[in-house]
Amino acid sequence: MRLSDRKLLFGITGSIASYKAVYIVRHLVKNEGAQIQVVMTKAATEFVRPVVFETVTGSPVYVEMFGEVGFGTVHIDLARESDLLVICPATANIIAKIACGIADDLLSSVALVKGSNMVIAPAMNDQMYLNPITQGNISKLKRLGCVVVECEEGDLACGTTGIGRLAEEKKIILAILRKLREDERLKGKKVVVTAGPTREYIDDIRFISNRSTGKMGFAIAEEALIKGAEVVLISGPNSLEKIPYVNYIEVETAEEMLEELLEHRDADYLFMVSAVEDLVPDRVEGKIKK
């Protein structure tokens, strides 16, 4: 498991998207082996009860600065004992607090101690998100070194459609993994990976191919991404879920794959794991009759 030696502090704020954080936390605990401590704002507890996160993580949830679990300087201890602070979902309010250095509750106090070692996933109404003040605060956090997993477009809780939805679970998880697992050997390097099968057509309907799924190439591409590389994935036909943040190029024939490889010959590393067809038949126009 990729995070078995890491401790994450997860901040939950008052958003309708708070329930989605349950699935992200559960994945990180169950599939990545992470140890997670959750801090919730009072508003967040109106959307999801703390007992839900306590059940998923096996650890008590912190809400108040004083009088709950532990004693002393709780905000300092929580920050020091974690490798990364993830705030998901992050409302416009908490983003503004962090950008301005305000520490008036437990989560904002922890964030002030943690500095830029954060992954922030905003979620809010589109007008709040597009407000120049919010955009300025997000830009400031990026300049300071925080990772911001930008909102996506879609249906919003207020009944409108626009940008403001919490990013997809896969994007947030990859951002967390990348923040924790960057490797200096690959950070900033360009990695090209080939994957999947190719097809060589006999006529306009039939083709020669193989049963390659592309899974190995996709796994290598994802791992290179997590290590901090800029990844180009050139793949033949497949049914796999696309990897966020990866430059995905879909091809069909061996010739098309070669052309794309030559376009990216400036790569620092090349992993060729595609199952390229050895035979190229003379293609017949139309369909060969029985």
Residues belonging to the active site? 158
Distance CA 283, CA 57 (A): 58
Radius of gyration over alpha carbons of the chain, in Å?
Answer: 23
Cα angle value 170/175/178 (rounded, 5°): 120
Look at residue 274 and give its three-state secondary structure: coil
Q: Please check whether residue 174 is in contact with residue 147, taking contact to mean a CB–CB distance below 8 angstroms.
A: no
| Angle, CA of 84, 85 and 86, to the nearest 5° | 115
Helices (H), 145-195: 169-181
Owner of token pair 């958003």: 15
Q: Is the dihedral of CA 133, 137, 142, 146 positive or negative?
A: negative
Pick from 241, 239, 246, 243: nearest CA to 211 = 239
Residue 125 tokens read as 């109404």
H/E segment holding residue 234: strand 230-235
In 10 A of CB 133, how many CB atoms? 12
Q: Per this entry, what is the length of the chain?
A: 290
CB 178 within 8 A of CB 149: no
Q: Is 182 exposed, middle or buried (0-12, 13-18, 19+ CB in 10 A)?
A: middle
Contact 274, 195 (CB under 8 A): yes
